[in-house]
Amino acid sequence: MKKLVNKVAVITGATSGMALATAKLFVAEGAHVFITGRRQKELDEAVAAIGSNVTGVVGDSANLADLDRLFETVKAEKGHIDVLYASAGMGEFAPLGQVTEESFDKMFDLNAKGTFFTIQKALPLLRDNGSIIMTGTIATIKGMENLSVYGASKAGLLVYAKVWTNELKARGIRVNVLSPGPIDTSVFVGREDMKTFMASHIPMGRIGRPEEIATTALFLASNDSSFITGSEICVDGGMAQV
């Protein structure tokens, strides 16, 4: 039996990789999905790849006016949200001495501020007993070199999940963080050496697939996870766990 029949889901930053794989799975499981992306061409390609029961809305999750337009579209077309997956994010690699103010601001604007206001602005449309999912990272656990700003900008999501679990408990809304390890997305295109290096640090001996993030997101979106909230689920092949 399909797990998201007649559900409405919003997935930000879903034009490629993990979030696109998740949008495809959510539609296959019966949901209508709204996806966002910053560029029209990539958004159109993602909508075509998903094929049906999908609405694409151009927007930058760091731009509050774009978020308003997203949720106005959702309200006009469906009137409510059952699953909100705040997945839009970015990371840049730089050691402490080379981080620029511009890079710092970009990561915090999208990862920390953008995620915060995505959830805040969706609240009026979120149905009771709905599910909120945020994309975190195991860089908040491992202390990876060159990822201090990225990790810090994502660490706040763990606090959001705990606080919002308490704030939204009367409505039965669950809030969880899905934290990937290295996943085979566009960042690894043409970088077989990097994939091999990363795999050598993962107990399972390989990097993950976008579909493995998608199935975990489906678990958190569906009633299968009805007793899970305020939690972080790491999908990392054990990299940050042992």
Residue with tokens 């029961």: 53
Phi-psi group of 6: left, alpha or beta (phi > 0 → left; psi -120 to 50 → alpha; rest → beta) = left
Rounded Cα distance between 14 and 187, Å, is: 15
- Residue 31 has which token pair? 């949901």
What's at 125, amino acid-wise? L
Rounded Cα distance between 87 and 18, Å, is: 9
Rounded Cα distance between 30 and 213, Å, is: 18
Active-site annotation holds for 160? no
Residue among 118, 83, 104, 205 nearest 148 (CA): 104
Q: Specify whether the CB–CB gap between 84 and 115 falls below 8 A.
A: no
- Pick the catalytic residue: 26, 85, 150, 164? 150
Tell me whether strands 54-58 and 32-37 are parallel, antiparallel or unpaired.
parallel
Active-site residue numbers?
A: 150
